[in-house]
Amino acid sequence: MPILDAPRECPIKSHYGKHSVYFPSQKNQTQIVCDSTLEADYCVLLEFEPTVERYQSRPGIFKISVDERIHDYTPDFLVETTELVYYTEIKLDFTKLSARVNAKLQAASCYFNQLGRLLRFADENSIRRGEYLRNLKYLYLHSFNVGADERGDCARQLEALTLPIRLGDLLTKQNGPSTRSIYKAIFDQVLIFDLRQRLTINTQLEVRNDGHQHSESWCSV
């Protein structure tokens, strides 16, 4: 059975051939240290998911028992949502793991179950979903530092628009919202389109009106 033990602080390690990626998190207002670009891509999905309130990488070292031997285990992420808290393990392909690694992950999953937590698994196929992720990465990286005045101006102008509207027409509208505030509105799902299709200047944008709760920054303007 897994041995319950308080996590120790996880030191930042570097390995030959592995380089850290620093992801600029808007939700956490800090840089998240990732061990791969796949982990950084996972962060984009966490930023997009409205129920995720905060998250951290390398949340600690846990003592787990595998075949009656004690091993250190560090999950890749700790995620806190409005409904639950869970850990995530990231791998390129879980079907290609060794028996030893699989046994360690199963023991870790049992360990967290005893704590009343989940250990979730995310691989390349579940994270890098074609145009969906490409669109989110583009929107996220082009929507930084949007101030309250920009959000307010964008929200007011969106209310006055006749929708749907082409992205290109909105971007070139005379005295229209700033480009980054438009991309922020799309990323925050105030404006929506089919994320499975590549975002272009010809993309038709709609206002979301299905009861979805927008982020506080948009509700308060």
pTM: 0.86
pLDDT in tens, 3-35: 333 344 444 444 444 689 999 999 999 999 999
Q: Which phi and psi (to 5°) does residue 175 adopt?
A: 55, 30
| Domain chopping of the chain, boundaries | 21-127, 131-219
Decide: 217 and 188 in contact? Cβ < 8 Å: yes
Q: Which phi and psi (to 5°) does residue 212 adopt?
A: -60, 135
CATH number for the region 21-127 comes to: 3.40.1350.10
DSSP of 162-194: -SSEEHHHHHT-TT---HHHHHHHHHTTSEE--
Q: CA–CA separation, 72 vs 158, rounded Å? A: 52
pLDDT in tens, 136-187: 999 999 999 999 999 999 999 999 999 899 999 999 999 999 999 999 999 9
The arrangement of strands across the sheet holding 165-166 comes to 165-166, 204-207, 191-192
Q: Cis bond leading into 177, ω under 30°?
A: no
pLDDT in tens, 73-86: 999 999 999 999 99
Q: CA–CA separation, 16 vs 20, rounded Å? A: 11
Decide: 166 and 107 in contact? Cβ < 8 Å: no
DSSP of 36-77: SHHHHHHHHHHHH-TTEEEEEES--BEEEEETTEEEEE--SE
Beta-bridge partners for 64: 71
